[in-house]
Chain A
Amino acid sequence: MKLAEGMELIARDWIVKPQGFRVKFQQMINGELVTGYSPSLEENWLDSDVTTWRYAWKLAMASASDDNRPVEGSLVNITVVDDKDRSVNYYVTGRPQVFNAFCAKSF
């Protein structure tokens, strides 16, 4: 295997670089959980996963409720996804992370 081929293999199978990141959440609208993204799909991605996780945490803090049940308009199941809508591992723990988790099976 030539060096270039080896580098290509590494780039293909290990270095999977997302184009960007979005916060994915569910919002209680008219009693139903509706999936949404921020920035919205019409806007540009955020290019930093660190920034996106920070943003997700802030959204979670803004929507947190005492009884852990979503009220109208509040955000639950907040996480970060990449450009292919795949869940991104939280860089601190190395595992998936969901803020304000409410009903994981429907997410």
Chain B
Amino acid sequence: MGDQLSRFQHLGQLMQTNGLDMISSLLILIVGLILTKWVVKKIRILLNRFIKNTTTVSVAANSTGVVLLGLVITASAMGVGVTPGPLVTLMMIVVLIAVGVILVFRPLIPTLPFKVGDYVKVGTLLGKVEATTVLNTRLRTFDGKTFFVPNRQILDDIVINYHYTKTRRVKIDVTLRYDQDLIKAKRVLEAVMIEDARVLPKPNPQVYVLELGSNGVRLGGRCCVNNLKFWVTKCDLLEKTKVRFDRENIEFAHHQLDINYKRIQKETAEDMIEPMPGE
């Protein structure tokens, strides 16, 4: 009891002698943190105007934030009489230890296989990553819904990141009637792909006969486009294929069912019926 009383008395004396300094130091810390956050936000907005790479912007903004945070802590500590020399040394040690720990344990730390702005497919969700936090990822699907997906679910699931590769293959599959000119159809489909400005020249667009099916010949056009232009290019190519085939009088096959029936002569049919035993 006496020990606690002496502690409170010591604290009271400390507040009397250094109370003002401590309050001013606390104020410097709070205002400094708010200002740091504001400055980092403004820097991020400014850099986004000039630099398109979001990773570079994040690294630059976060590095500035770390430096400013160090300055704020130093200024705050100096307010209560701590000399900057040992404080900077201490901060350097802490930073170096943190960097070392991250470098050593980096392969063991689970990281999300995408970054903000990427188009991804997580499970059945297809959309754009709007934000990531420690707990969840905010995903906006193309129909405008916003999903908050838990990160542990993402780490356990199969993720397709459409930004990982720059190009993507477009498949244009059509089925022709058997009486159509196959070679002409192949040429037309290849020309549709080759002539489109967004289809990459390498690898060359190709047309294959995929199947001699029950209702027609299935042709497969294959070409590569920029990943970010995939969807629109595919839709445009399908539209162009349809109108070009119409123009060239090449007809698509429809699902059909051929019914063959035999007309059997009455006498023959009666002959085919075997008499029952005893008749």
- A residues neighboring B (CB under 8 Å): 7, 11, 14-15, 17-21, 47-51, 91-94
With an 8 A cutoff between CB atoms, is B157 at the interface?
Answer: no
* Chain A, interface SS category: loop
Contact of B197 among A11, A19, A94 (CB under 8 A): A19
Given contacts A48-B236, A50-B236, A50-B240, contact A18 B197 (CB under 8 A): yes
- B residues neighboring A (CB under 8 Å): 194-199, 201, 204, 229, 232-233, 236, 239-240, 243-244, 247
The 8 nearest A-B residue pairs measured at CB: A50-B236, A17-B197, A92-B243, A18-B197, A15-B194, A91-B240, A48-B236, A47-B198
A93 touches B229 (CB 8 A): no
Please name 25 pairs of A and B residues whose Cβ atoms are closer than 8 Å in the assembled complex, sorted by A: A7-B204, A11-B201, A15-B194, A15-B195, A17-B195, A17-B197, A17-B199, A18-B197, A20-B197, A21-B197, A47-B198, A47-B229, A48-B197, A48-B198, A48-B233, A49-B196, A49-B197, A50-B236, A51-B232, A51-B236, A91-B240, A91-B244, A92-B247, A93-B247, A94-B247
A73 to chain B, nearest CB (A): 31
Which chain A positions have C-beta within 8 A of B194? 14-15
Which chain B positions have C-beta within 8 A of A17? 195-197, 199, 201
Which chain B positions have C-beta within 8 A of A50? 236, 239-240
